[in-house]
Amino acid sequence: MESRCENCIIRQFNSLRAMSKEELKQVSDSKTVKTIKKGESLFQEGDKLNGVYCVRNGVSKLSKLSSNGKDQIVKLASKGEVLGQRSVISEESTNLSAIAVDDMEVCFIPKESINNTLQKNPNFTMEVLRHMAHDLKEADDVIVNISQKTVKQRMAEAFLYLKNNFGEDEEGYLALTLSREDISNVVGTATESAIRIISEFKKKGLIVASGKRIGIKDERKLLELVEGF
Amino acid sequence: MESRCENCIIRQFNSLRAMSKEELKQVSDSKTVKTIKKGESLFQEGDKLNGVYCVRNGVSKLSKLSSNGKDQIVKLASKGEVLGQRSVISEESTNLSAIAVDDMEVCFIPKESINNTLQKNPNFTMEVLRHMAHDLKEADDVIVNISQKTVKQRMAEAFLYLKNNFGEDEEGYLALTLSREDISNVVGTATESAIRIISEFKKKGLIVASGKRIGIKDERKLLELVEGF
DNA sequence: GGAATACTATGACAAATGTCAGTTTAGGGA
DNA sequence: TCCCTAAACTGACATTTGTCATAGTATTCC
């Protein structure tokens, strides 16, 4: 297990790649590695973060509690993603909770290291900016999807998303296994509705399921469904 | 009408305030002022933008067309807001259309001026970053609202939003008058549903309406509605 | 191994929302 | 002014989705 940021492959996937050797050294010296068990939280909505989390392993759900008591999952973050950046940059408390869906391993980087680099290295700042621009674009897409598509379409889309972003295991099942409740919180619907639609998709041969695990069987038809037949 | 950026008050509200005098001078020399009539577009989804638009007057709706043919309005931008930044920064084509809801006056700033400053002035980059972080937080809130609240709650919220962000005229009506269709596209519902709920709110004394204009009558009750009674 | 607990599943029903069809109203030109 | 068109509105109905109740199934923890 490599523990120096300078040598960490994960870094290639996020904005830390724009850091200089010196800066990385400083980050590495100040960082701490944490292990988060499935179900535990990295941080909760409303927390003031004094650093960011760089995901080494596992998956975290970023969610927000609504007034009716339900969580909405806004994003699923895995290897290479940096969590908490927004909060650190705007110096506000975070608007999302981060909870481990898997067992996770993350590096905590204190905000001083980040802010320091932001001030001194324009390349790094630009890189962070580019990432944020990308996230914002994605968020717009989510808004349009949720408001203009039916639950069924969004379910289909969610499965395709899981396949494209987290891949499949050797047996062809989605590598990321979510509970039915988590799926419903990604899609933004009632758990029962999600379960019903999963049953329907199974019957129609679009997906297969064994226990919690779900596999995509007919990607083309799922895509057609998303686009509205 | 002041036409030098250095003296433009609008600038105080956006990231351009972090520019140096020299930089502002350069921006001012390269900018062009444009007048956009109600209903005309600043840019369309998919366009490659070669600059950003700084809103001086009027309001623009930022929307995205969904596969079912409906527009979803993601944001309403008014005086002081800068449009197209995301696209220019990530050098991708824009994912939103910007259409004038009012007659508008905007300054077009070529991307070279922006990119030039981004590279040389870390303060400016940080300022843009902060704005983007804010927008992203807002987008998350929209996602949660749309997916977890009923249409009625979102309608109530939309009216409060319009009041808080665009204010009221002398007679107590909302200063920004949107068509029923635009309202439904902000809320993410069918136009008929929006109209029905407006009628209901009128009957219950939550709002008043005269023609297209809508006034908020019982803010407290609207708020209670948003929070789920 | 077995009880306790959480998750998955299904039916029945109610509520919310969308769609279609048609009417009324308002505002902008000729 | 009056017409004409677009927008606002209303009703009836179908569909979608959520809620409640309940049962089956897996998982965990002693």
Domain end, chosen from B105, B124, B142, is at B142
Range of the domain at B100: 5-142
Closest CA to A22 of A157, A143, A113: A113
At B2, the pLDDT band (50, 70, 90 cuts) reads low
The per-residue pLDDT for B67 is 75
Question: What is the CATH classification number for the domain harbouring B162?
Answer: 1.10.10.10
Query: In the predicted model, what is the mean pLDDT of chain A?
Result: 92
Separation between Cα atoms, residue A83 and residue B171, nearest integer Å: 47
Question: B128 and A129: CB-CB below 8 Å?
Answer: yes
Separation between Cα atoms, residue A111 and residue A109, nearest integer Å: 6
The first and second tokens of residue B130, run together, are 């902060």
CA angle A44, A47, A48 (to 5 degrees): 145
For A32, A49, A60, the CA distances from A36, given in Å and listed in that order, are: 13, 17, 10
ipTM for the whole complex: 0.88
Residues B117 and B190 occupy one common structural domain: no
In this structure, chain B runs to a length of 229
DSSP 8-state class, residue A49? P
Residues B178 and B136 occupy one common structural domain: no
Residue A152 backbone dihedrals phi, psi, to 5 degrees: -60, -45
Residues A130 and A176 occupy one common structural domain: no
Question: What is the CATH classification number for the domain harbouring B42?
Answer: 2.60.120.10
How many beta carbons lie within 10 A of that of residue A115, not counting itself? 14
Question: A136 and B136: CB-CB below 8 Å?
Answer: yes
pLDDT digits (tens, 9 = 90+) for A167-220: 999 999 999 999 999 999 999 999 999 999 999 999 999 999 988 999 999 999
Residues A22 and A129 occupy one common structural domain: yes
Domain end, chosen from A97, A126, A142, is at A142
At B5, the pLDDT band (50, 70, 90 cuts) reads confident
Residues A128 and A195 occupy one common structural domain: no
> Which is higher by pLDDT, B154 or A69?
B154
For nucleotide D18, the protein residue with its alpha carbon nearest to C1' is: A190
Pairing of strands B104-110, B97-100: unpaired
The first and second tokens of residue B75, run together, are 């944001």
A-chain residue closest to B226, CA distance = A67
Residues B61 and B133 occupy one common structural domain: yes
Span A64-89, average pLDDT: 91
Residues B115 and B197 occupy one common structural domain: no
Q: Which residues of B touch A (CB under 8 A)?
A: 64, 66-68, 70, 72, 74, 85-86, 89-90, 92, 95-96, 118-120, 122, 125-126, 128-130, 132-137, 139-149, 188-189, 226-228
At A228, the pLDDT band (50, 70, 90 cuts) reads confident
% chain B with pLDDT above 90:
82
DSSP 8-state class, residue A50? S
Please say if the pLDDT value at position B229 is more than 70: no
Span B33-42, average pLDDT: 92
pLDDT digits (tens, 9 = 90+) for A5-51: 888 888 777 889 999 999 999 999 999 999 999 999 999 999 999 99
Measured in angstroms, the CA of A22 and the nearest CA of chain B are apart by 19
Please say if the pLDDT value at position B45 is more than 90: yes
Query: SS3 for B197?
Result: helix
> Which is higher by pLDDT, A3 or B115?
B115
Pairing of strands A97-100, A41-43: antiparallel
Measured in angstroms, the CA of B140 and the nearest CA of chain A are apart by 7
In this structure, chain A runs to a length of 229
At B22, the pLDDT band (50, 70, 90 cuts) reads very high
CA dihedral B179, B95, B85, B103 (to 10 degrees): -20
How many beta carbons lie within 10 A of that of residue A40, not counting itself? 13
pLDDT digits (tens, 9 = 90+) for B73-91: 999 999 999 999 999 999 9
Question: B118 and A126: CB-CB below 8 Å?
Answer: yes
Q: Which of A118, A132, A149 sits opposite B136 (nearest CB)?
A: A132
**CB closer than 7 A to strand D: which residues?**
A 68, 150-152, 188-190, 192-193, 211-212; B 179-181, 191-192, 195-196, 198-199, 209, 212
The per-residue pLDDT for A44 is 94
Query: SS3 for B177?
Result: coil
Please say if the pLDDT value at position B62 is more than 70: yes
Domain end, chosen from A142, A163, A191, is at A142
Instruction: Extract the runs of DSSP E, i.e. beta strands, from chain B.
Output: 32-36, 41-43, 51-57, 60-65, 71-77, 82-83, 97-100, 104-110, 207-210, 213-216
Please say if the pLDDT value at position A229 is more than 70: no
Residues A127 and A186 occupy one common structural domain: no
> What is the CB-side half-sphere exposure of residue A98 using CA atoms within 13 A?
25
Residues A11 and A106 occupy one common structural domain: yes
* Strand C positions within 7 A of protein Cβ atoms: 7-12, 16-21, 26-27
Residue B36 backbone dihedrals phi, psi, to 5 degrees: -120, 125
At B228, the pLDDT band (50, 70, 90 cuts) reads confident
% chain A with pLDDT above 70:
99
How many separate domains does chain B show?
Answer: 2
Residues B132 and B166 occupy one common structural domain: no
Residues A11 and A123 occupy one common structural domain: yes
Residues B124 and B78 occupy one common structural domain: yes
Q: Whole-prediction pTM value?
A: 0.91
The per-residue pLDDT for A2 is 56
The per-residue pLDDT for A69 is 79
